[in-house]
Structure 1
Amino acid sequence: MVPRRRRRRPWYRTRAYRLARTAALVVALVLAVGRCGGHGTPPGAARAGGPDASRADGRGAGHGGSGADGAAPSGAPAPPPRPLTRSRPTSLRIPSLGVDAPITALRLDQDRHLQTPPVDRPQLVGWYEGGPTPGEPGTAIAVGHRDTTTGPAVFAALAQVTPGKLIEAGRADGRTAVYTVDQVKVFDKTDFPDEEVYAQSRRPELRVLTCGGLFSRRTGYTSNVVVFAHLTATK
Protein backbone atom coordinates (compact mmCIF):
# COMPACT_ATOMS: atom_id res chain seq x y z
CA MET A 1 0.00 0.00 0.00
CA VAL A 2 1.36 3.34 -0.96
CA PRO A 3 1.20 5.76 2.03
CA ARG A 4 -0.85 8.93 1.55
CA ARG A 5 0.98 12.20 1.40
CA ARG A 6 0.08 14.58 4.24
CA ARG A 7 -1.54 17.71 2.94
CA ARG A 8 -0.05 20.94 4.19
CA ARG A 9 -2.35 23.10 6.32
CA PRO A 10 -3.44 26.38 4.83
CA TRP A 11 -1.37 29.27 6.18
CA TYR A 12 -4.36 30.82 7.96
CA ARG A 13 -4.77 27.66 10.06
CA THR A 14 -1.19 27.37 11.26
CA ARG A 15 -0.24 27.83 14.90
CA ALA A 16 2.16 30.62 14.04
CA TYR A 17 -0.62 32.57 12.32
CA ARG A 18 -2.99 32.15 15.28
CA LEU A 19 -0.34 33.39 17.71
CA ALA A 20 0.44 36.37 15.52
CA ARG A 21 -3.27 37.22 15.20
CA THR A 22 -3.77 37.03 18.98
CA ALA A 23 -0.81 39.32 19.57
CA ALA A 24 -2.16 41.83 17.06
CA LEU A 25 -5.58 41.85 18.76
CA VAL A 26 -4.00 42.47 22.16
CA VAL A 27 -2.03 45.42 20.82
CA ALA A 28 -5.16 46.87 19.19
CA LEU A 29 -7.14 46.60 22.43
CA VAL A 30 -4.39 48.27 24.44
CA LEU A 31 -4.26 51.17 21.97
CA ALA A 32 -8.05 51.52 22.01
CA VAL A 33 -8.16 51.70 25.82
CA GLY A 34 -5.42 54.32 25.74
CA ARG A 35 -7.47 56.49 23.38
CA CYS A 36 -10.90 56.10 24.98
CA GLY A 37 -10.14 55.96 28.68
CA GLY A 38 -8.99 58.55 31.21
CA HIS A 39 -10.50 61.75 29.87
CA GLY A 40 -8.27 64.21 31.69
CA THR A 41 -8.80 67.96 31.56
CA PRO A 42 -6.98 69.43 28.53
CA PRO A 43 -4.54 72.25 29.30
CA GLY A 44 -6.33 75.59 29.47
CA ALA A 45 -9.83 74.06 29.64
CA ALA A 46 -12.33 75.45 32.19
CA ARG A 47 -12.47 73.47 35.38
CA ALA A 48 -14.85 73.84 38.32
CA GLY A 49 -17.95 75.83 37.60
CA GLY A 50 -19.27 74.38 34.33
CA PRO A 51 -20.50 76.55 31.47
CA ASP A 52 -21.22 79.60 33.62
CA ALA A 53 -17.59 79.78 34.75
CA SER A 54 -16.61 81.13 31.34
CA ARG A 55 -19.74 82.68 29.89
CA ALA A 56 -23.06 84.29 30.68
CA ASP A 57 -25.89 84.22 28.15
CA GLY A 58 -23.39 83.21 25.48
CA ARG A 59 -20.91 86.03 26.21
CA GLY A 60 -17.49 85.55 27.78
CA ALA A 61 -17.49 86.78 31.36
CA GLY A 62 -13.82 86.45 32.21
CA HIS A 63 -12.80 87.65 28.75
CA GLY A 64 -15.16 90.57 28.36
CA GLY A 65 -17.09 89.17 25.38
CA SER A 66 -18.80 91.29 22.80
CA GLY A 67 -19.30 94.79 24.13
CA ALA A 68 -17.61 94.02 27.47
CA ASP A 69 -14.61 95.80 28.95
CA GLY A 70 -11.29 94.05 29.41
CA ALA A 71 -11.27 91.86 26.28
CA ALA A 72 -8.07 89.90 25.69
CA PRO A 73 -6.64 88.06 22.66
CA SER A 74 -7.54 84.40 22.35
CA GLY A 75 -5.36 82.26 24.59
CA ALA A 76 -4.13 85.20 26.69
CA PRO A 77 -5.26 85.71 30.30
CA ALA A 78 -7.90 88.40 30.62
CA PRO A 79 -6.76 91.55 32.44
CA PRO A 80 -8.84 92.71 35.40
CA PRO A 81 -11.78 94.82 34.23
CA ARG A 82 -11.73 98.52 34.95
CA PRO A 83 -13.91 99.39 37.96
CA LEU A 84 -17.10 101.29 37.29
CA THR A 85 -18.13 104.65 38.69
CA ARG A 86 -21.03 104.92 41.09
CA SER A 87 -24.52 104.01 39.86
CA ARG A 88 -27.54 102.72 41.77
CA PRO A 89 -28.01 98.90 41.69
CA THR A 90 -31.25 97.74 40.09
CA SER A 91 -31.18 93.94 39.76
CA LEU A 92 -29.26 90.84 40.71
CA ARG A 93 -29.00 87.64 38.68
CA ILE A 94 -27.44 84.29 39.57
CA PRO A 95 -27.98 82.29 36.35
CA SER A 96 -26.93 78.94 37.81
CA LEU A 97 -29.67 79.22 40.48
CA GLY A 98 -32.33 80.80 38.29
CA VAL A 99 -32.29 83.97 40.43
CA ASP A 100 -33.34 87.20 38.70
CA ALA A 101 -34.49 89.70 41.31
CA PRO A 102 -35.01 93.44 41.76
CA ILE A 103 -32.92 95.32 44.31
CA THR A 104 -33.89 97.64 47.14
CA ALA A 105 -31.54 99.87 49.14
CA LEU A 106 -30.63 98.82 52.71
CA ARG A 107 -29.28 100.88 55.60
CA LEU A 108 -27.96 100.18 59.09
CA ASP A 109 -30.41 100.11 61.97
CA GLN A 110 -29.97 101.92 65.29
CA ASP A 111 -27.71 99.12 66.56
CA ARG A 112 -25.46 99.42 63.48
CA HIS A 113 -26.78 96.13 62.12
CA LEU A 114 -27.58 95.74 58.45
CA GLN A 115 -31.29 95.70 57.76
CA THR A 116 -32.98 93.04 55.63
CA PRO A 117 -35.50 93.34 52.79
CA PRO A 118 -39.20 93.49 53.77
CA VAL A 119 -40.50 90.08 54.83
CA ASP A 120 -43.62 90.58 52.74
CA ARG A 121 -41.43 90.80 49.60
CA PRO A 122 -39.49 87.51 49.73
CA GLN A 123 -38.16 87.76 46.16
CA LEU A 124 -36.46 91.10 46.75
CA VAL A 125 -32.68 91.50 47.21
CA GLY A 126 -31.29 94.22 49.49
CA TRP A 127 -28.10 96.14 48.63
CA TYR A 128 -26.25 98.12 51.32
CA GLU A 129 -26.39 101.68 50.05
CA GLY A 130 -23.54 102.82 52.32
CA GLY A 131 -21.09 100.61 50.41
CA PRO A 132 -19.93 100.34 46.80
CA THR A 133 -22.44 100.08 43.98
CA PRO A 134 -22.02 97.24 41.42
CA GLY A 135 -18.56 97.32 39.89
CA GLU A 136 -17.16 100.01 42.19
CA PRO A 137 -13.91 99.34 44.10
CA GLY A 138 -14.46 97.94 47.58
CA THR A 139 -16.69 95.33 49.19
CA ALA A 140 -20.35 95.54 48.19
CA ILE A 141 -23.01 93.78 50.27
CA ALA A 142 -26.22 92.11 49.03
CA VAL A 143 -28.71 90.42 51.37
CA GLY A 144 -31.82 88.32 50.80
CA HIS A 145 -34.14 85.99 52.68
CA ARG A 146 -33.80 82.21 52.55
CA ASP A 147 -37.51 81.76 53.23
CA THR A 148 -40.45 83.43 54.93
CA THR A 149 -43.73 82.26 56.46
CA THR A 150 -45.14 82.06 52.93
CA GLY A 151 -42.46 79.71 51.56
CA PRO A 152 -39.00 79.77 49.90
CA ALA A 153 -37.50 83.19 49.22
CA VAL A 154 -35.03 84.59 46.72
CA PHE A 155 -31.91 82.97 48.24
CA ALA A 156 -33.42 79.60 49.16
CA ALA A 157 -30.68 77.81 47.18
CA LEU A 158 -27.80 80.25 47.74
CA ALA A 159 -25.71 77.67 49.62
CA GLN A 160 -25.67 75.51 46.47
CA VAL A 161 -23.80 78.02 44.31
CA THR A 162 -20.26 76.87 43.56
CA PRO A 163 -16.94 78.62 42.84
CA GLY A 164 -16.72 79.77 39.24
CA LYS A 165 -20.41 80.59 38.89
CA LEU A 166 -21.50 84.08 37.94
CA ILE A 167 -23.42 86.82 39.72
CA GLU A 168 -24.63 89.74 37.61
CA ALA A 169 -25.60 93.06 39.17
CA GLY A 170 -27.50 95.50 36.99
CA ARG A 171 -27.12 99.26 37.38
CA ALA A 172 -29.30 102.29 36.76
CA ASP A 173 -26.95 103.51 34.01
CA GLY A 174 -27.59 100.35 31.97
CA ARG A 175 -24.23 98.71 32.74
CA THR A 176 -23.88 95.29 34.38
CA ALA A 177 -21.16 94.22 36.80
CA VAL A 178 -20.31 90.53 36.46
CA TYR A 179 -18.80 88.86 39.52
CA THR A 180 -17.32 85.35 39.72
CA VAL A 181 -17.84 83.31 42.89
CA ASP A 182 -14.61 82.55 44.78
CA GLN A 183 -15.98 80.58 47.70
CA VAL A 184 -19.05 79.93 49.85
CA LYS A 185 -18.83 79.81 53.64
CA VAL A 186 -21.27 79.19 56.48
CA PHE A 187 -20.72 81.07 59.75
CA ASP A 188 -22.45 80.64 63.10
CA LYS A 189 -24.35 83.81 63.95
CA THR A 190 -22.94 83.82 67.48
CA ASP A 191 -19.40 84.01 66.10
CA PHE A 192 -19.87 85.93 62.86
CA PRO A 193 -16.50 87.21 61.52
CA ASP A 194 -17.31 90.83 60.63
CA GLU A 195 -13.73 91.61 59.64
CA GLU A 196 -13.51 88.69 57.20
CA VAL A 197 -16.89 89.29 55.59
CA TYR A 198 -17.03 93.09 55.52
CA ALA A 199 -13.32 93.86 55.14
CA GLN A 200 -12.71 96.48 52.47
CA SER A 201 -10.85 95.58 49.29
CA ARG A 202 -9.05 97.64 46.68
CA ARG A 203 -10.61 95.62 43.88
CA PRO A 204 -14.39 95.41 43.34
CA GLU A 205 -15.78 92.53 45.39
CA LEU A 206 -19.21 91.32 46.42
CA ARG A 207 -20.63 89.47 49.42
CA VAL A 208 -24.06 87.87 49.15
CA LEU A 209 -25.65 86.83 52.47
CA THR A 210 -28.64 84.83 53.62
CA CYS A 211 -29.62 82.63 56.55
CA GLY A 212 -28.45 79.05 56.99
CA GLY A 213 -28.00 76.25 59.48
CA LEU A 214 -30.78 75.00 61.75
CA PHE A 215 -34.06 76.81 62.32
CA SER A 216 -35.86 77.47 65.58
CA ARG A 217 -39.17 79.30 65.87
CA ARG A 218 -37.83 81.08 68.94
CA THR A 219 -34.39 82.18 67.70
CA GLY A 220 -34.55 81.78 63.91
CA TYR A 221 -31.65 80.35 61.90
CA THR A 222 -28.35 79.51 63.60
CA SER A 223 -25.99 80.48 60.76
CA ASN A 224 -25.36 82.74 57.81
CA VAL A 225 -24.41 81.65 54.29
CA VAL A 226 -21.89 84.04 52.73
CA VAL A 227 -20.85 84.02 49.07
CA PHE A 228 -17.51 85.69 48.28
CA ALA A 229 -17.07 86.97 44.71
CA HIS A 230 -14.96 89.44 42.74
CA LEU A 231 -15.54 91.48 39.59
CA THR A 232 -14.43 89.70 36.39
CA ALA A 233 -16.25 91.64 33.66
CA THR A 234 -18.50 94.58 32.92
CA LYS A 235 -20.97 94.97 30.10
Structure 2
Amino acid sequence: MFPSHRPALARTALLLAALVLPAALFAGLTGCSWGGIDDSKAVGTPASPDEPQRVRIPSLGVDSPLIRLRTDPHTGRPVRQPPKEHSDTAGWCTGSALPGRPGTAVLVGHREDGGAGGGVFRKLGSLREGAAVEIERGDGKTLRFTVTAVRTMDREEAFATRKEHPAAGSTGPGERALRLVTCVGDDPGRGSGHRVLVVDTALRS
Protein backbone atom coordinates (compact mmCIF):
# COMPACT_ATOMS: atom_id res chain seq x y z
CA MET A 1 0.00 0.00 0.00
CA PHE A 2 1.10 3.53 -0.69
CA PRO A 3 1.64 5.79 2.34
CA SER A 4 -1.16 8.30 2.96
CA HIS A 5 -0.55 11.91 1.85
CA ARG A 6 -3.36 13.30 3.98
CA PRO A 7 -1.15 14.65 6.82
CA ALA A 8 1.05 16.51 4.33
CA LEU A 9 -1.99 17.91 2.51
CA ALA A 10 -3.53 18.99 5.79
CA ARG A 11 -0.35 20.79 6.79
CA THR A 12 -0.23 22.53 3.41
CA ALA A 13 -3.86 23.62 3.73
CA LEU A 14 -3.24 25.03 7.20
CA LEU A 15 -0.20 26.93 5.98
CA LEU A 16 -2.13 28.45 3.09
CA ALA A 17 -4.95 29.44 5.42
CA ALA A 18 -2.49 31.12 7.77
CA LEU A 19 -1.15 33.17 4.87
CA VAL A 20 -4.41 34.00 3.11
CA LEU A 21 -6.73 34.74 6.05
CA PRO A 22 -4.80 37.72 7.47
CA ALA A 23 -4.54 39.23 3.99
CA ALA A 24 -8.26 38.83 3.45
CA LEU A 25 -9.05 40.39 6.82
CA PHE A 26 -6.72 43.29 6.09
CA ALA A 27 -8.37 43.90 2.71
CA GLY A 28 -11.79 43.82 4.34
CA LEU A 29 -10.81 46.31 7.01
CA THR A 30 -9.15 48.76 4.66
CA GLY A 31 -11.97 48.57 2.13
CA CYS A 32 -14.83 49.03 4.60
CA SER A 33 -13.44 50.75 7.67
CA TRP A 34 -15.04 53.53 9.72
CA GLY A 35 -18.58 52.26 9.09
CA GLY A 36 -19.88 54.13 6.07
CA ILE A 37 -16.91 56.44 5.48
CA ASP A 38 -15.15 55.99 2.16
CA ASP A 39 -11.55 56.09 3.38
CA SER A 40 -10.15 55.32 -0.07
CA LYS A 41 -10.61 59.01 -0.86
CA ALA A 42 -9.79 60.41 2.57
CA VAL A 43 -6.80 62.34 1.23
CA GLY A 44 -8.78 64.52 -1.12
CA THR A 45 -8.98 62.59 -4.38
CA PRO A 46 -12.66 62.74 -5.34
CA ALA A 47 -14.44 60.35 -7.62
CA SER A 48 -15.78 63.10 -9.86
CA PRO A 49 -14.69 66.61 -10.89
CA ASP A 50 -17.62 68.37 -9.21
CA GLU A 51 -17.16 66.74 -5.78
CA PRO A 52 -15.37 68.73 -3.06
CA GLN A 53 -11.85 67.64 -2.19
CA ARG A 54 -10.59 70.34 0.19
CA VAL A 55 -11.92 73.06 2.47
CA ARG A 56 -9.95 76.17 3.34
CA ILE A 57 -10.79 78.85 5.89
CA PRO A 58 -7.93 81.37 5.51
CA SER A 59 -8.73 83.40 8.63
CA LEU A 60 -8.52 80.25 10.80
CA GLY A 61 -5.59 78.61 9.05
CA VAL A 62 -7.77 75.62 8.07
CA ASP A 63 -6.69 73.68 4.97
CA SER A 64 -8.12 70.16 5.09
CA PRO A 65 -8.90 67.34 2.67
CA LEU A 66 -12.46 66.06 2.84
CA ILE A 67 -13.56 62.57 3.84
CA ARG A 68 -16.85 61.38 2.34
CA LEU A 69 -19.45 60.74 5.03
CA ARG A 70 -21.87 58.23 3.57
CA THR A 71 -24.35 55.84 5.22
CA ASP A 72 -23.53 53.33 7.94
CA PRO A 73 -24.17 49.92 6.31
CA HIS A 74 -25.13 48.43 9.69
CA THR A 75 -27.69 51.00 10.80
CA GLY A 76 -28.71 52.59 7.51
CA ARG A 77 -28.25 56.01 9.10
CA PRO A 78 -26.06 58.75 7.62
CA VAL A 79 -22.60 59.14 9.13
CA ARG A 80 -22.39 62.66 10.53
CA GLN A 81 -18.83 63.01 11.73
CA PRO A 82 -15.33 61.90 10.73
CA PRO A 83 -13.71 59.18 12.85
CA LYS A 84 -12.01 60.37 16.03
CA GLU A 85 -8.61 59.24 14.75
CA HIS A 86 -9.02 61.77 11.93
CA SER A 87 -10.13 64.71 14.03
CA ASP A 88 -7.82 66.96 11.99
CA THR A 89 -9.79 66.20 8.81
CA ALA A 90 -13.21 67.55 7.83
CA GLY A 91 -15.91 65.51 6.13
CA TRP A 92 -18.52 66.18 3.46
CA CYS A 93 -21.98 64.65 3.98
CA THR A 94 -22.67 63.01 0.64
CA GLY A 95 -26.41 63.12 1.31
CA SER A 96 -26.27 66.91 1.15
CA ALA A 97 -25.85 69.01 -1.99
CA LEU A 98 -22.67 69.31 -4.00
CA PRO A 99 -20.98 72.63 -3.11
CA GLY A 100 -21.90 75.25 -5.67
CA ARG A 101 -25.08 73.46 -6.72
CA PRO A 102 -28.62 74.48 -5.65
CA GLY A 103 -29.17 73.34 -2.08
CA THR A 104 -27.04 73.21 1.05
CA ALA A 105 -23.76 71.30 1.19
CA VAL A 106 -22.80 70.21 4.71
CA LEU A 107 -19.27 69.84 6.04
CA VAL A 108 -18.57 68.40 9.50
CA GLY A 109 -15.46 68.52 11.65
CA HIS A 110 -14.45 67.82 15.24
CA ARG A 111 -13.87 70.61 17.73
CA GLU A 112 -11.68 68.48 19.97
CA ASP A 113 -9.33 65.56 19.40
CA GLY A 114 -8.94 64.39 22.98
CA GLY A 115 -5.52 66.02 23.22
CA ALA A 116 -4.07 69.49 23.40
CA GLY A 117 -4.16 70.22 19.68
CA GLY A 118 -7.89 70.34 19.06
CA GLY A 119 -9.87 69.28 15.99
CA VAL A 120 -10.00 70.77 12.51
CA PHE A 121 -12.96 73.03 13.41
CA ARG A 122 -11.74 73.98 16.90
CA LYS A 123 -11.82 77.72 16.07
CA LEU A 124 -15.02 77.67 14.04
CA GLY A 125 -16.91 79.70 16.66
CA SER A 126 -14.58 82.66 16.14
CA LEU A 127 -15.72 83.19 12.53
CA ARG A 128 -17.71 86.31 11.83
CA GLU A 129 -20.04 87.39 9.06
CA GLY A 130 -18.13 88.22 5.89
CA ALA A 131 -15.32 85.72 6.49
CA ALA A 132 -14.24 83.61 3.51
CA VAL A 133 -14.57 79.84 3.14
CA GLU A 134 -13.12 78.14 0.07
CA ILE A 135 -13.96 74.74 -1.42
CA GLU A 136 -11.63 73.11 -3.93
CA ARG A 137 -13.37 70.69 -6.28
CA GLY A 138 -11.95 67.62 -7.95
CA ASP A 139 -11.36 69.52 -11.18
CA GLY A 140 -9.22 72.08 -9.33
CA LYS A 141 -11.83 74.84 -9.42
CA THR A 142 -12.15 76.89 -6.22
CA LEU A 143 -15.58 77.96 -5.00
CA ARG A 144 -15.66 80.95 -2.67
CA PHE A 145 -18.29 81.30 0.03
CA THR A 146 -18.94 84.10 2.52
CA VAL A 147 -20.11 83.55 6.10
CA THR A 148 -23.67 84.81 6.63
CA ALA A 149 -24.41 83.51 10.14
CA VAL A 150 -22.76 81.80 13.13
CA ARG A 151 -25.16 80.21 15.63
CA THR A 152 -25.99 77.17 17.71
CA MET A 153 -28.94 74.97 16.88
CA ASP A 154 -30.44 71.54 17.41
CA ARG A 155 -28.36 68.80 15.82
CA GLU A 156 -31.23 67.34 13.80
CA GLU A 157 -32.23 70.76 12.56
CA ALA A 158 -28.65 71.48 11.53
CA PHE A 159 -28.63 68.48 9.21
CA ALA A 160 -32.12 69.11 7.80
CA THR A 161 -30.80 70.78 4.66
CA ARG A 162 -32.84 71.80 1.64
CA LYS A 163 -31.90 68.64 -0.25
CA GLU A 164 -33.56 66.52 2.44
CA HIS A 165 -36.30 68.98 3.46
CA PRO A 166 -36.95 71.62 0.76
CA ALA A 167 -38.46 74.12 3.23
CA ALA A 168 -35.54 74.09 5.68
CA GLY A 169 -33.20 77.07 5.70
CA SER A 170 -34.17 78.22 2.23
CA THR A 171 -34.10 81.77 0.95
CA GLY A 172 -34.99 80.80 -2.60
CA PRO A 173 -34.99 77.86 -5.03
CA GLY A 174 -31.62 78.81 -6.49
CA GLU A 175 -29.77 79.15 -3.18
CA ARG A 176 -26.27 77.67 -3.21
CA ALA A 177 -25.23 77.41 0.42
CA LEU A 178 -22.49 75.74 2.44
CA ARG A 179 -22.93 74.82 6.11
CA LEU A 180 -20.09 73.99 8.50
CA VAL A 181 -21.01 71.99 11.61
CA THR A 182 -19.13 71.09 14.77
CA CYS A 183 -19.98 70.34 18.40
CA VAL A 184 -20.26 72.93 21.14
CA GLY A 185 -19.16 70.66 23.98
CA ASP A 186 -22.55 69.30 25.07
CA ASP A 187 -22.96 65.68 26.09
CA PRO A 188 -23.72 63.71 22.87
CA GLY A 189 -25.97 61.45 24.94
CA ARG A 190 -28.65 64.11 25.20
CA GLY A 191 -30.30 62.86 22.00
CA SER A 192 -32.29 65.25 19.83
CA GLY A 193 -31.65 68.08 22.30
CA HIS A 194 -27.92 68.03 21.59
CA ARG A 195 -26.91 71.35 20.07
CA VAL A 196 -24.18 72.02 17.56
CA LEU A 197 -22.32 75.06 16.28
CA VAL A 198 -23.35 75.99 12.74
CA VAL A 199 -21.67 78.39 10.33
CA ASP A 200 -23.81 79.22 7.30
CA THR A 201 -22.24 80.59 4.14
CA ALA A 202 -23.43 81.65 0.69
CA LEU A 203 -21.69 81.19 -2.66
CA ARG A 204 -20.00 84.33 -3.95
CA SER A 205 -17.90 83.08 -6.87
- After TM superposition, is the score higher than 0.5? yes
Aligned to 1:176: 142
Partner-residue secondary structure (3-state), 1:164: coil
2:102 aligns with one of 111, 131, 137: 137
In the alignment, does 2:32 pair up with 1:108? no
Q: Which runs of 5+ in 2 are unaligned?
A: 1-47, 164-172
Aligned partners of 2:92, 2:158: CA distance in 1, in Å?
17
CA RMSD of aligned residues (A): 2.6
Amino acid in the other structure paired with 1:168: E
- Residue identity (%): 35
Aligned to 2:157: 193
> Higher Cα Rg: structure 1 or 2?
1
Partner-residue secondary structure (3-state), 1:133: coil
Q: Which runs of 5+ in 1 are unaligned?
A: 1-84
Aligned to 1:38: none
Amino acid in the other structure paired with 1:87: D
Note if contact 1:86-1:133 (Cα within 8 Å) is conserved in structure 2: no
1:210 aligns with one of 179, 182, 186: 182
Aligned partners of 1:115, 1:181: CA distance in 2, in Å?
21
Aligned partners of 1:113, 1:163: CA distance in 2, in Å?
29
Amino acid in the other structure paired with 1:143: V
Note if contact 1:134-1:170 (Cα within 8 Å) is conserved in structure 2: no
Note if contact 1:89-1:134 (Cα within 8 Å) is conserved in structure 2: yes
Note if contact 1:93-1:99 (Cα within 8 Å) is conserved in structure 2: yes
**What TM-score comes out, normalization by structure 2 length?**
0.62
Partner-residue secondary structure (3-state), 2:59: helix
Note if contact 1:95-1:166 (Cα within 8 Å) is conserved in structure 2: yes
**What TM-score comes out, normalization by structure 1 length?**
0.55
Aligned partners of 1:194, 1:171: CA distance in 2, in Å?
23
Aligned partners of 1:171, 1:213: CA distance in 2, in Å?
31
Count of aligned pairs between the two proteins: 145
Q: CA deviation at 1:206?
A: 0.6
Q: CA deviation at 1:182?
A: 0.6
Note if contact 2:181-2:199 (Cα within 8 Å) is conserved in structure 1: yes
Aligned to 1:125: 90
Aligned partners of 2:102, 2:149: CA distance in 1, in Å?
19
Aligned to 1:39: none
Partner-residue secondary structure (3-state), 2:125: helix
Note if contact 2:49-2:138 (Cα within 8 Å) is conserved in structure 1: no
Per-residue displacement from partner, 1:20-56 (whole Å, max 9, x unpaired)? Answer: xxxxxxxxxxxxxxxxxxxxxxxxxxxxxxxxxxxxx
In the alignment, does 2:127 pair up with 1:161? yes
